[in-house]
């Protein structure tokens, strides 16, 4: 191969600096997941294509990466493969050509896992999952073809305690990451359904929800145009406008919703859930706002929905979200299991933390200290000292060759190592080491014992 | 979908128990990688098919999972797709049909990464990588289509210090995992080349190496048959037999190798490296054995090779291995970069640790404690207490509904939670909690303050 190598569009190599920063995010989130008694689950990258198809809408289906079956060049398979390939060319599926696909999100695999294992699982099942997913989307800034999702869900319980716990978890995570000034918007699908019920167009719930979902990105003009396209009368569109303009304290918003939809059974049920959600949080100060204009596009939500808003000082929309869904496992033949979950948008959180310089400096340190190499005899000594220092929990590098010290200093600097240990012929005779702080330039002489007990 | 869902053959769901055990292995290995100043790298699951093809031999090429390009059903693409698909049916590639593939190992992506970034990387580059890889192999016990590799490599240095560090790292990892009685076999590709040189058939190095590699699994009969098939004369086959039968201390083995191949320049060079490797380790007691019968199949090794042998009390072959390779990045147009690496076989290590019951019991604990649910008013109190206990670093679960205590106890037991806290109407009045140790059955009454300061 003579052309320089590259990686597929929309994928990324994560070099050491980036991995350390991403791990800082993952580990912070994981720590809180565990404190809230969530358990880890990992599902394969590969799923049966059947498992995924038809779960993400027509647009979603087209974005699923499919795996070509191996062995189609076998003489006995060629003719059938040729015929079956015509199905692919017609936009259909053929399990003869491709029976597997890369997972598209973590929610359908969870539903599939629960449906497969529901007789063994103790419910409520609180699981978290941090794994890559793949989408054949057009890559653009902040949108990748291989990206990570980070989800926590509680499956098999309808208690609104879980929604409150997820809100609190979210607060702990963002506080833990140092991302103050985030906010959590909350709404309820039944309140949106109540709006449709009140307007006498319950059958248009999905269209109305999808339209409202575009408010923040595209503005009211666009929403209003979409509502008109969906066949709403000017009076109805005006009701939607009134609805999404409601603001205030939780009590004030609830009062206005009740005034707007006094006879809606759906709205009343949604408001009841919302009240119960807020009552769990009444003694705790976290930035949760009841916002009727929050819609969230995904069709499977049926109860409370969340969205995490980035701090206002950065231009970035949602950092995550979630909500309650009923009957997700029903897609796989197991009915009556309710769930509620939250998902953190790792890539966006990463970008916001970079922008606000929130990553600790220590993350890009390769090692605490490095032994410079002054020759074979010297390095035989440093090799043993390095071993003892590692046994005490210090990360230690040893320069592998006897080259000019200049070069070794440069290496240490580039690798962001704070301490250099220099042991030459003289030092070996006296059992001492020169220890230099590469950040301050200060150098001191220590005995081997002092070196082994030094606090790096 | 009415058929119960399943996952593709050769893939696995990792439920909470298994993830915790696997993470114990990953984290132990990662800790030592970091103590030895290795830095993390992550490369995408998807690579250009061109990057992978031709790197793993003809057999390997067939086992690469290829991704079907999206959008082939576009009217303008159909005819060309039909034509290009014929190439696939002939066992060739077509970037029109499939331009991406799933990575097959971590070594070629490392070479690709280094070739892409060599002007920015500070060498020696010590990287570790723990990621899944995919192979369309026939699944069988212990062989999966999606499995994890766990590699550490040093790229851009020829110092034999690295081989010694990797041997030591390996020892620390296995000691850290509690896997005593493992052993590390070492040999050198140049010693094997020396054998061929001595027998006057240097051109048969690959065949002879491949044959010797089968000794442990298939026995001498099979090796001897393969050597004969490769055209070795009975006298030569006998020399191979002598060679692989050499045992003893390092000095004894070296002496016998020198006696068998007194005039081989290759052997002498290999022995020189081996001596230098062992001299680094002379003050350290680790189970390293120089074993001429170690060959390792992979063609890209050029220097010292390693193999980690499972403890004799379990029936399991290699738990990992590695070695030095020259010019791996040469495949991508960047020459003169030497590397050396080690790879841990996670799935086998997992199986051995299960068999020897080496996983700590605490791993499958979902939470330290659980608050039982005696009603809404009670749970509003426990919700605040749970928050404070989590802030102190305890993982805490709250039972979400007021159901019979029996059921709550059963839940706690199944989730392996040691402590249950019971707060009812009476307890709220007196600001106390009943704390029950579910392992011992002992129950005590604590004030809220005592509870918050309790050492769980």
Segment A346-399, tens digit of pLDDT: 999 999 999 999 999 888 788 999 999 999 999 999 999 999 999 999 999 999
Structural Rg of chain B based on CA atoms = 29
Minimum-distance CB partner of A116 among B4, B134, B332:
B4
- Closest B-chain CA to A74: B89
Residues B151 and B232 in one domain: yes
Say whether both A192 and A212 belong to one domain. yes
Is A384 within 8 Å of B98 when comparing Cβ atoms?
no
pLDDT reported for residue B142? 80
Is the pLDDT at A48 greater than 70, yes or no? yes
Q: pLDDT band at residue A143, thresholds of 50, 70 and 90?
A: confident
Q: Is B342 inside a domain boundary? A: yes
Q: Are residue B237 and residue B287 in the same domain, yes or no?
A: yes
CB A130 within 8 A of CB A30: yes
Residue range of the domain that includes A236? 25-36+105-355
Which of A1, A4, A5 would best serve as a mutation to test chain B binding (most B beta carbons within 10 A)?
A5
pLDDT digits (tens, 9 = 90+) for B39-93: 999 999 999 999 999 988 888 899 999 999 999 999 999 999 999 999 999 999 9
* Residues B296/B343, Cβ–Cβ less than 8 Å: no
Confidence of residue A297 (pLDDT cuts 50, 70, 90): confident
Same domain, A121 and A201: yes
**pLDDT for position A317:** 79
Q: Grade residue A316 by pLDDT with cuts at 50, 70 and 90.
A: confident
Sorting pLDDT into bands at 50, 70 and 90, what band is B353?
Answer: very high
Structural domain contains residue B47: no
DSSP string, A167-216: HHHHHHHHHHTT-TT-EEEEEEHHHHHHHHHHHT-GGGHHHHHHHHHTHH
The sign of the CA dihedral A341, A347, A350, A354 is negative
What is the domain-level CATH number for residue A141? 3.30.930.10
Distance from CA of B181 to the nearest CA of A (A): 20
Cα separation, A222 vs A180, in Å, equals: 32
B75 touches chain A (CB under 8 A): no
Which residue of chain A comes nearest to B75, CA vs CA? A89
Q: Is B19 on the interface with A (CB under 8 A)?
A: yes
Do residues A240 and A176 share a domain? Answer: yes
pTM of the model: 0.94
Residue B17 belongs to a domain = no
Residue A148, pLDDT above cutoff 70 = yes
- Distance between B303 CA and the closest CA of chain A, angstroms: 17
**Both structure tokens of A272:** 């009841």
Give the CATH number, domain containing residue A412. 3.40.50.800
- B264 and B293 fall within a common domain: yes
Q: In the block, which residue shows the tokens 């979630």?
A: A322
User: Last residue of some domain: B355, B375, B394?
Assistant: B355
Per-residue pLDDT band at B2 (split at 50, 70, 90): low
Query: pLDDT tens for residues A238-266?
Result: 999 999 999 999 999 999 999 999 999 99
Mean pLDDT of chain B: 94
pLDDT at A1: 47
Token pair for A387: 């071993």
Mean pLDDT of B114-136: 96
B144 with B223, same domain: the answer is yes
Say whether residue A142 is in contact with chain B using an 8 A CB cutoff: no
**Span B7-36, pLDDT tens digits:** 999 999 999 999 999 999 999 999 999 999
d(CA A242, CA A260): 9
Q: Does B437 touch chain A (CB under 8 A)?
A: no
Is residue A58 assigned to a domain?
no
Mean pLDDT on A274-289: 93
Given B321, B355, B389, which residue is the final one in a domain? B355
Residues 6+ apart with CB under 8 A from B251: none
DSSP-assigned states of every residue in B311-346: PTTS---EEEEEEEEE-GGGGGT--S-EEEEEEE-H
**For residue B1, pLDDT beyond 70:** no
Final residue of a domain: which of A355, A390, A411?
A: A355
Candidates B8, B144, B365, B420: best to mutate against A (most CBs of A within 10 A) is B8
Asked, for residue A405, whether it belongs to a domain, the answer is yes
Residue B116 is nearest to which of A6, A97, A401, comparing CB atoms? Answer: A6
Who wins on pLDDT, A398 or A4?
A: A398
Angle at A90 between CA A87 and CA A92, to 5 degrees: 60
Give the tokens for residue B288.
């390293």
Q: How far apart are CA A47 and CA A39, in angstroms?
A: 22
A169 and A245 share a domain? Answer: yes
pLDDT over 70 percentage in chain B: 99
B301 in the same domain as B369: no
Per-residue confidence band for B219, with pLDDT thresholds at 50, 70 and 90 = very high
The answer to whether B220 faces chain A, any CB pair under 8 Å, is no
| pLDDT at residue number A323 | 95
Q: What is the mean pLDDT of chain A?
A: 94
Q: Contact A198/A267 with Cβ under 8 angstroms?
A: yes
Residue B81 lies in a domain: no
Nearest residue in chain A measured CA to CA from B137: A70
Domain-embedded: residue B334 = yes
DSSP string, A10-37: T---B-HHHHHHHHHHHHHHHHHHHHTT
Residue B17 structure tokens: 């128990």
pLDDT of residue B365: 83
pLDDT digits (tens, 9 = 90+) for A80-114: 999 999 999 999 999 999 999 999 999 999 999 99
pLDDT at A362: 84
DSSP characters for A96-161?
Answer: TT--EEE---SHHHHHHHHHHHTTTPPSSEEEEEEEEEE--PPPBTTB-SEEEEEEEEEES---TH
Q: A127 touching B, CB under 8 A?
A: yes
Residues A337 and A286 both lie in one domain: yes
Residue B95: inside a domain: no
Count up the domains in chain B and report the number.
2
At A2, the pLDDT band (50, 70, 90 cuts) reads low
ipTM > 0.90, yes or no: yes
C-beta contacts of A77-81 below 8 A and 24+ residues apart: A78/B89, A81/B85, A81/B88, A81/B89
Contact at CB, A89 and B78, closer than 8 angstroms: yes
Whether the Cβ atoms of residue B101 and residue B88 lie closer than 8 Å to each other = no
Q: What is the largest CA-CA distance in chain A?
A: 94
Q: Which of residues 349-378 of B touch A (CB under 8 A)?
A: 366-367, 370
Residues B428-438 pLDDT 10s: 999 999 999 99
Residues B428 and B323 occupy one common structural domain: no
Residue A369 and residue A333 share a domain: no
């Amino acid at each position: 191969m003579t052309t320089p190598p590259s990686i597929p569009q929309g994928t990324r190599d994560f070099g050491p600096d980036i991995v350390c920063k991403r791990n800082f995010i993952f580990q912070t989130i994981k720590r809180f997941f565990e404190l809230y008694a969530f358990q880890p689950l990992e599902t394969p990258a590969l799923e049966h294509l059947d498992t995924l198809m038809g779960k993400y809408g027509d647009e979603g289906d087209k974005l699923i990466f499919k795996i070509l079956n191996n062995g189609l060049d076998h003489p006995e398979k060629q003719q059938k493969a040729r015929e079956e390939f015509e199905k692919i060319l017609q936009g259909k599926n053929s399990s003869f050509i491709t029976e597997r696909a890369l997972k598209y999100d973590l929610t359908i695999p969870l539903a599939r896992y629960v449906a497969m294992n529901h007789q063994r699982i103790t419910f409520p099942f609180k699981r978290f999952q941090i794994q890559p997913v793949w989408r054949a989307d057009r890559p653009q800034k902040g949108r990748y073809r291989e990206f990570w999702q980070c989800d926590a869900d509680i499956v098999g319980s309808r208690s609104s305690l879980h929604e409150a716990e997820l809100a609190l978890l979210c607060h702990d995570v963002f506080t833990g990451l140092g991302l103050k000034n985030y906010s959590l918007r909350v709404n309820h699908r039944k309140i949106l359904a109540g709006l449709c019920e009140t307007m006498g167009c319950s059958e248009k719930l999905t269209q109305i929800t999808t339209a409202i979902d575009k408010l923040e990105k595209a503005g009211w003009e666009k929403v209003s145009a979409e509502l008109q396209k969906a066949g709403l009368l000017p009076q109805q569109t005006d009701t939607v406008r009134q609805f999404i303009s409601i603001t205030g304290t939780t009590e004030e918003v609830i009062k206005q919703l009740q005034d707007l939809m006094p006879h809606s059974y759906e709205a009343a049920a949604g408001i009841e859930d919302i009240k119960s959600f807020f009552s769990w949080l009444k003694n705790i100060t976290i930035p949760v706002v009841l916002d009727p204009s929050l819609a969230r596009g995904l069709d499977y939500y049926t109860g409370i929905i969340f969205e995490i808003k980035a701090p206002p000082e950065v231009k970035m929309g949602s950092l995550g979200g979630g909500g309650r869904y009923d009957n997700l496992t029903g897609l796989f033949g197991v009915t009556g299991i309710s769930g509620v979950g939250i998902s953190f948008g790792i890539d966006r959180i990463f970008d916001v933390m970079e922008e606000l310089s929130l990553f600790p400096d220590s993350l890009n340190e390769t090692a605490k200290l490095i032994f410079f190499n002054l020759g074979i005899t010297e390095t035989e000594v440093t090799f043993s000292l390095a071993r003892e220092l590692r046994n005490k929990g210090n990360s230690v590098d040893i320069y592998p060759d006897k080259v000019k010290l200049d070069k070794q200093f440069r290496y240490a600097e580039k690798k962001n190592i704070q301490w250099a240990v220099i042991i030459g012929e003289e030092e070996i005779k006296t059992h001492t080491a020169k220890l230099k702080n590469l950040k301050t330039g200060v150098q001191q002489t220590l005995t081997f014992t002092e070196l082994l007990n030094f606090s790096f």
